[in-house]
A and B are shown apart, each in its own frame.
Chain A
Amino acid sequence: MSNIAGYRRPMAGTQPNHLHPPYASSVARSPRQPLVYLPHTLSEVTGPIVGPERVDVKAFDLTKQHKGEPLGERIVVSGRVIDENGRPVPHTLVEIWQANSAGRYLHKVDQHNAPLDPNFTGCGHTLTDSEGRYRFVSIRPGEYPWKNHYNAWRPAHIHFSLFGPAFATRLVTQMYFQGDPLIPYDPIFNCTSDEKARNRLISQFDWESTIPEQALGYKFDIILNGRDSTPWENK
């Protein structure tokens, strides 16, 4: 059996270093030894597949999980999942979680003095369609304080988790909102040195997906590793 084509590694500066001292908890939770370069084998070009049988088709709508409507500004977050070669990533799982409109998470560790919303859990998932498109309905999450440094506030964000087609393409990220004044001050947003790469985490207001008299639309496209065209042994 010959060798197989792997997935491309991110370009320098477009992914965070594990150690980013302005994000205080990265200091003790990042390795100091250099990472060992792992050529991709069958183990890395395969990966978990979560199919339609596992997925709740209603889980894309975070505003309909309880008896009443959650408080806050309704939003539609949608976009495409594509790879670095521009090809759609179809039928792949997208998971999200977020704070409620007051900036409070439904989590026992979150002690922020802001109200919980009995009509909002803040958890959703969906599969991309055959062209890599996904869509969530939710409410705009609130900004919230944290203890990283004095007067530290996280900009409004939604956490995203994706598998893509392979173990090598796994991605966990956060989506921000265009115009949020807290973004430039956030050490987590700023952990990636490449400015363009960073700014692609900011979703853009979008008329097309905005629902009249119902919800504002935000576009957020996600890019996963592209496949190399040739096996690595031949390079």
Chain B
Amino acid sequence: MSLVKTTSQTVGPYFAIGLTWLNKSDLTAPGVSGKKVTIEGRLLDADGKPIPDGLIEVWQANSHGKYAHPEDKQDKPLEKGFQGFGRIPMDGNGCFRFTTIQPGPVPGPDGKPQAPHILVSVFARGMLDRLVTRIYFPDEPLNNSDFVLNLIEPARRGTLIARKKGEGLEWNIVVQGPEETVFFNC
């Protein structure tokens, strides 16, 4: 077939009209197992200015490393009440904050475990296509052997690893500049 994916277009400045109904910044629910964690940060442009008209979506496995999706055939428990999807708009200062469960490791190439991670899509006015990135966790032994982190030059790997801040974690998305976050061709 010669079909090609429909071309992407920006969400523009008014996406809140259409997308707010599915906002979710607390992915946890009573009875869901695992370590609860709050991740907060800022979405910053080339000049270090916050991007208030932006949105992130997150996708992750549960604490056992199982995705709530039929294509995950692993023999691991699903958790009723944990879907693994969040949609979080920036506030007026370009800040976001969401609460979730730290995901368990999921398999990568050849079945070797990937380090726990959260997938992130970034949307904003001015972005013609989403930006795709990942959040990893600090002090996680599997980070050293994670095949995705190892695709990245060492000096930039840190942009994907959240830092401890108080009780929670901080992770910023820098769209452009010396501290530019690593984005993927996904």
Interface positions of A (Cβ within 8 A of B): 1-3, 9-11, 14-18, 20, 23, 25-33, 35-50, 54, 82-86, 95-97, 99, 105-107, 109-110, 121-125, 159, 161, 165-168, 170-174, 188-189, 191-192, 194, 197-198, 200-201, 222-226, 233
Given contacts A14-B7, A45-B71, A109-B13, contact A29 B46 (CB under 8 A): yes
- B120 to chain A: closest residue by CB: A167
Docked CA distance A11–B6 (Å): 11
In chain B, residues 106-129, which have Cβ atoms closer than 8 Å to a Cβ of chain A? Answer: 106-111, 114, 117, 119, 121, 123-129
With an 8 A cutoff between CB atoms, is B95 at the interface? no
Contact of A38 among B110, B123, B180, B186 (CB under 8 A): B186
Contact at A226–B59, with CB atoms within 8 Å? no
List residues of chain B with CB within 8 A of the CB of A29: 45-46, 51, 124-127, 175-176
Interface positions of B (Cβ within 8 A of A): 1, 3-19, 21-22, 45-47, 49, 51, 53, 57, 59, 61, 67-69, 71-72, 74, 83-85, 106-111, 114, 117, 119, 121, 123-132, 148, 151-152, 156, 175-177, 180-186
- B106 to chain A: closest residue by CB: A42
List residues of chain A with CB within 8 A of the CB of B83: 48-49
Contact at B151–A36, with CB atoms within 8 Å? yes
Closest Cβ–Cβ distance, residue A179 to chain B (whole Å)? 19
Contact of B7 among A16, A85, A168 (CB under 8 A): A16
Contact at B126–A46, with CB atoms within 8 Å? no
Contact of B114 among A43, A54, A166 (CB under 8 A): A43
Docked CA distance A46–B72 (Å): 7
Name the residue in B6, B124, B185 with the highest tally of chain A Cβ atoms < 10 Å from its Cβ: B6
Contact at B71–A46, with CB atoms within 8 Å? yes
Contact at A18–B11, with CB atoms within 8 Å? no
Docked CA distance A230–B185 (Å): 19
List residues of chain B with CB within 8 A of the CB of A45: 71
Closest Cβ–Cβ distance, residue A133 to chain B (whole Å)? 16
Contact of A48 among B10, B84, B114, B176 (CB under 8 A): B84
Contact at A188–B10, with CB atoms within 8 Å? yes
14 pairs, CB–CB < 8 Å, chain A vs chain B: A11-B4, A14-B5, A28-B46, A28-B176, A33-B183, A36-B183, A38-B151, A95-B22, A121-B17, A165-B71, A171-B5, A172-B130, A201-B9, A233-B110
List residues of chain A with CB within 8 A of the CB of B132: 38
Contact at A43–B59, with CB atoms within 8 Å? yes
Contact at B53–A41, with CB atoms within 8 Å? no
Given contacts A43-B114, A45-B71, A107-B17, contact A171 B184 (CB under 8 A): no
Closest Cβ–Cβ distance, residue A67 to chain B (whole Å)? 19
